Every structure is written in structure tokens, then in C-alpha cells.
Amino acid sequence: MTTVKLSDIIAPSFYDLHKDIKADRHTHYWLKGGRGSTKSSFASTEIPLGMMKDPMANAVIIRKVGLYLKDSVYEQLLWAIERLGVSHLWQCRQSPLELVYTPTGQRILFRGADKPKKLKSTKVRKGYIRYVWYEEADEFGGMEEIRTINQSLLRGGATYTVFYTFNPPKSQRNWINSEVLVPRSDKIVHHSDYRSVPAEWLGEQFLIEAKHLEQTKPEQYRHEYLGEVTGTGAEVFTNITIRPITDEEIKSFDHIKRGIDWGYGADPFVYITAHFDSKRNRLFIFYEFFRCAAKYDVIANAIRKENTQNGTIIAESAEPRSNDELRDRGFHIRTAVKGPGSVEHGITWLQNLEEIVIDGTRCPNAAREFNEYELDRDSRGELKADFPDKNNHTIDAIRYALEDYIGRKIVKSTLSKRKLGIY
């Protein structure tokens, strides 16, 4: 096999990721970024490179619509094979669309998810499907669709590498922007953009176009070229930071507040714990218990585990019987004070915080709900003024928990609307 320099085919931002893949440290690699980030080039290089080192490895490359395979990922793989200097070792087939490593017969197969039966029946003569690549992963219908495909393909082997390449959609509510926030021990999320790519790889005109957009439409530039989730203009919270909150930080917290939102029917029960730093106007959310159809004993055990000193909990007032059940188990329960405008006022108060820090590993549902919470639009596409009453269970629990702070200083509710351009 021809010797090539890593720096000749892989941009610097991917060096550490290449080492991670080589060492089989993770299974799922979510590669997001803007135009010219070379994320697709990286995936297309890693797959044939890995296959030539493992005689049992095969690959399946997937796009949502099969019609686009030949002119996109197939050509991308041909480019990678040529750059690796091994074109003479690979046979290109058009019908069916596939690449064959001639020394061993290993295959790279190309499939469209618009024909699920073909995906389900995908088989290889030798070895197993070690590599799977979802190109333009945001085009898929959601994680459930992808999970179903993975369950069909990832069988019979000891080691797998799955790539998901995509340009992040504008809205945080989009399923794939939410999915990358979900923690998994076998998962890496990698972000890149064109600024870490050698200029000669991109060409002068690419850089000219990027600079022009940066100067004329900076928000569009951030989305298209930097791969940022810039939002749709309907986001309620623009002050969210998702990051780990360390045990050391938690030990230093001295203004701990706890809240409960009781679930109805299919809605979940939520118990949440946060620290409010009034000096810096920052909120830290670091514990949640989020469960549908949870029994009282299960709820009580979860609360005791976190609330070891039996601190006061402010709970939703609409469930007096449920609150009494917890009181009977020894908890200090105080019911939240509700009234006209209390929801809007509480959300506005949260909007005006300097920062809401959420530990995405400890509190995945809070991270998801705060990030995805957006104003609805009417039939004309205009933003509605009212805050939506859906997918806001952790938000409600936080409002109850912080009732003492929220009630101290009234912030005019029109502030939140002005931020969103609603008057």
C-alpha cells in the first residue's frame, strides 16, 4: 500500500479523531460543521483506510434518498481512494453501486434509506459490516429511523465505527441538534469549520465567498460556514450553556433550590435541583428525576438519594393529594403560588438571567427542553405571543423551585417579547 502523509489528506482538526478511531475507542462519531470543514472527506478516508487494515471489515454508506448516492458519497469515496494512492486495488461497480477491495473481496455498499427493505436485507459474503456512514444525517426522519437501521446492520462483529456527517440545521429544536446533546460513553461529537483547513485545499474563490457573506450577512455566515446553530428567531431561551458541572462545583453551591412538576396522564413527573448564584445572576441545574407513571415509593427513593438533608421542595399546587403523599413520607413540601401571569413572569425572569448552565449528562431532559423551547407560529408564519404549554416540564419545575427569587423583583413580561421582536 502506498505510504501517504496524514497531513496531506486530513485537516488538522481531525488528527486527534483519527487516533481515536485507530484505537477503537468509540463507536459513534457525530461529525458536524459548516461548508468546507472536510468532515465528509475525513469519513471517506477513514473507511477504506480501515478496511484495508482489517480483512473482515465491510462498509455501508447511506443517504436518505438513494438517487443522490452516485453523485455525492460514491464520488467522495473515489476521491479518497485516489488520494490514498490505492486506486489500482479497488474495483468500481455501477450496478449495483459498490466498491470492491480486490485483494480480499471486501465491499463498500451504497444504500438509500428510502428503500428500507434493501437496507434490512443487506448482507456481505465475507466478514461483517464494520463501517456505517450516514451522509447528510439531518435529512433522516429522526433517531428512531437511524436506530432501526443500525440494529439491522451492526451484527456479527466485535468492533464498529459509525459516522454521522451533517451541517447543523438552524433550529435547536431539530432532532439532530438535540441528539448530539444526548450523552453516551461510546459517542464523540466533533465540530469543525473551514478555518482549520489548509487554504490551498479550498481555493481562493471559496475564501472570497466566505468573507463576503461574513461581511454582508454575518448570521448566515455563522450558520453556513461555521456550522453554528443560529436559531430561527423563535427561541425563548438564548442564555443556555450545556456543559458538565463538576462534583467540586456542586460541593460549593450554597443556594440549593428544589422543585416538582407533577405529570398528568402521559406527562412525566419531574423533580429538579438547581443552585442560583444571585451575585453573578447565574443558574446551575445539576440534578433531575424525570419519569412517566412513577410510583410514590420510587419518587421518594429518588428524592432521598439526592436530598440527603431533607431540604424544602416547592411543588406544583394542582396536585394536593400527591403533595400529601410526599409529606406523609417525611418530606418538607411547600406548594407553589400560582396566579394570573405567573408562567409568563417566571419564564421572563429566567430569560433575563445572565446564564443558565445545565449539565447535559446529569440532566438530559432539562437540557433538551430548555434548548428546544420555542414560540409557536400562526398560519401566516408569525410568532405567537404566548409561551407554549408543551414540552416544558423541567422548566415548570425550575419555576417552582425558584419561586422565592422570582417573586422578589417583578420584571415586565413585555421584555421577553421585545427580545423576540413581538410588541
- Residues 357 and 284: their CA atoms lie apart, in Å, by 5
Tell me how far apart the alpha carbons of residues 352 and 238 are, in angstroms, rounded to a whole number: 10
- Residue 422 has what pLDDT? 45
Q: What is the pLDDT of residues 179-190, one digit of tens each?
A: 998 888 999 999
Residues paired with 276 in a beta bridge: 283
The answer to whether 30 and 134 have CB atoms below 8 angstroms apart is no
Parse the chain into domains and list their residue ranges. Answer: 6-212, 240-419
For 148, phi then psi, to 5°, come to: -65, -40
> Residue 238 has what pLDDT?
87
Q: What angle do CA 107, 111, 116 make, to 5 degrees?
A: 130
* Chain Cα centroid distance, residue 385: 27
What is the pLDDT at residue 84? 94
Cα angle 373, 419, 180; round to 5: 35
Taking residues 88-106, what's their average pLDDT?
Answer: 95
Most confident of 40-54, 143-157, 173-187, 217-231: 40-54
List the one residue out of 227, 194, 236, 206 whose CA is nearest residue 356: 236
Element (H, E) at 218: helix 218-224
Active site residue 325: no
Predicted pLDDT of residue 78: 97
Which pLDDT does position 65 carry in this prediction?
87
pTM: 0.71
Q: How confident is the model at residue 415 (pLDDT cuts 50, 70, 90)?
A: very low
What fold characterizes domain 6-212? Rossmann fold (3.40.50)
C-alpha cell of residue 364: 438530559
> Is the pLDDT at 99 greater than 60, yes or no?
yes
Specify the pLDDT at position 421. Answer: 47
Contact (Cβ atoms closer than 8 angstroms) between residue 102 and residue 89: yes
Residues 318-375 have pLDDT tens digits of 889 999 999 999 999 999 988 778 899 999 999 999 999 999 889 989 999 998 898 8
Q: How far is CA 75 from CA 17, 68, 70, 99, 345, in A?
A: 23, 11, 6, 11, 55
Q: Catalytic: which of 46, 98, 135, 136?
A: 136
For the chain, the average pLDDT equals 91
Q: Looking at residue 50, what is its pLDDT?
A: 96
Across 63-67, 274-278, 358-362, 414-418, the highest mean pLDDT is recorded for: 274-278
Residue with cell 427513593: 301
Closest-CA residue to 271 (of 398, 364, 91, 392):
398
pLDDT of residue 37: 97
CATH of domain 240-419: 3.30.420.280
Q: Over the range 265-304, which residues count as b (16 or more CB within 10 Å of their CB) and which as e?
A: eeebbbbbbbbbbeeeebbbbbbbbbbeebeeeebbebbe
pLDDT in tens, 304-323: 999 999 999 999 998 899 99
Percent of the chain predicted with pLDDT > 90:
72
Give CA–CA dist 118/37, Å, rounded. Answer: 31
Note the residue count of the chain: 423
Q: Which percentage of the chain shows pLDDT scores above 70?
A: 95
Is residue 27 predicted with pLDDT exceeding 90? yes
Q: Are 144 and 4 in contact (CB under 8 A)?
A: no
How far apart CA 381 and CA 238 sit, in angstroms, is 21
Predicted pLDDT at 2: 55
pLDDT of 136 > 70? The answer is: yes
- DSSP code for 93: E
